[in-house]
């Protein structure tokens, strides 16, 4: 069964906006009485019956609701955006499939892109959640400067890591991270973090970590970091 997304699901019935109604009725040719599956991105799956298949205002009735509890760990990826938007979108699709909770894009010294289209990227995350049957929609934050972000005391209870390539930085994230924690991993641009940024993060309590001995593209490093933390919770949990 295909999964659909509607953030505002309240009461026993709800109406879809015109775009979603048109897709359900005209493109997928769903009729009154048909059963469809929705998520609100907040942990719940809703089995619904179409009461009215109006192409501009489709109405659905909730038949059954199932709650999917969140994982016992939390992954926040803070990453410098790539110059090529397609590569950011690819990464978001893959880390959504694997599973993550939160992402923040960072303005760094060697940054390749100063701004990102959060609305477009949010739609990519929604599409990936629907494709991979995720009940929890990851949170996307406003872009922040590196200096301000690493100084934020909100994350002091997290296991905090900065990933970069250096011959002296050989402790792999897989070895360092402990299961069942909240994690925050910093990933830099293609030119990596500057020495000053690395020093600042370490001074603020971040631990240096490696994602492997080979140089990775930014989007690959982001995927590896998320997948590694899942492995930590499977193998050590």
Structure tokens at 208: 């240096």
pLDDT tens, residue by residue, 75-100: 999 999 999 999 999 999 999 999 99
Return the exposure string of 155-189: e unless at least 16 CB atoms fall within 10 Å of the residue's CB, then b.
beebbbbbbbbeeeeeeebbeebeeebebbbbbbb
Model pLDDT for residues 164-202, shown as the tens digit of each residue? 987 777 899 999 999 999 999 999 998 899 999 999 999
Give the pLDDT score at 1: 78
Question: Would you state the pLDDT for residue 57?
Answer: 93
The answer to whether 202 and 164 are in contact (CB under 8 A) is no
Residue 138's Cβ-count burial label (10 Å; 0-12, 13-18, 19+) is buried
The least confident of 10-19, 33-42, 145-154 is: 10-19
By the 10 Å C-beta count (0-12 exposed, 13-18 middle, 19+ buried), 73 is classed as: buried
Pairing relationship of beta strands 44-52 and 59-67 according to DSSP bridges: antiparallel
What is the arithmetic mean of pLDDT over 29-49?
95
Question: According to the model, what pLDDT value does residue 237 have?
Answer: 63
Q: pLDDT by residue (tens digit) across 110-151? A: 988 889 999 999 999 999 999 999 999 999 999 999 999 999
The pTM assigned to this predicted structure is: 0.93
Q: In the structure encoding, which two tokens stand for residue 138, read together? A: 């990851």
E strand intervals along the chain: 3-5, 13-15, 35-39, 44-52, 59-67, 74-79, 102-107, 139-140, 144-145, 159-163, 182-187, 207-209
Residue 16, classified by CB atoms within 10 Å of its CB into exposed (0-12), middle (13-18) or buried (19+), is buried
Domains of the chain with bracketed CATH: 3-67 (2.40.240.20), 74-235 (3.40.1280.10)
Q: Which residue has the tokens 């509607």?
A: 6
């Amino acid at each position: 069964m295909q999964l659909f997304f509607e953030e505002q699901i309240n009461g026993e019935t709800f109406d879809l906006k015109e775009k979603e109604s048109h897709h359900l009725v005209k493109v997928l040719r769903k009729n009154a009485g048909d059963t469809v599956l929705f998520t609100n991105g907040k942990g719940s799956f809703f089995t619904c019956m179409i009461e009215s298949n109006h192409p501009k205002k489709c109405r659905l009735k909730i038949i059954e609701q199932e709650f999917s509890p969140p994982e016992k760990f939390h992954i926040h990826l803070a990453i410098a955006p790539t110059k090529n938007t397609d590569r950011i979108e690819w990464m978001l699709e893959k880390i959504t499939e694997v599973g993550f909770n939160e992402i923040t894009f960072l303005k760094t010294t060697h940054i390749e892109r100063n701004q990102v289209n959060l609305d477009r990227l949010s739609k990519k995350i929604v599409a990936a959640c629907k494709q991979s049957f995720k009940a929890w929609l990851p949170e996307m934050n406003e872009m922040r400067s590196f200096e301000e972000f690493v100084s934020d005391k909100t994350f002091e209870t997290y296991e905090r890591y900065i990933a970069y390539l250096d011959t002296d930085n050989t402790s792999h994230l897989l070895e360092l991270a402990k299961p069942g924690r909240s994690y925050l991993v910093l990933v830099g641009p293609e030119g990596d973090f500057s020495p000053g940024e690395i020093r600042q993060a370490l001074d603020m309590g971040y631990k240096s970590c490696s994602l492997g001995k080979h140089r990775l593209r930014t989007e690959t490093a982001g995927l590896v970091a998320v997948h590694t933390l899942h492995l930590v919770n499977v193998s050590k949990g």
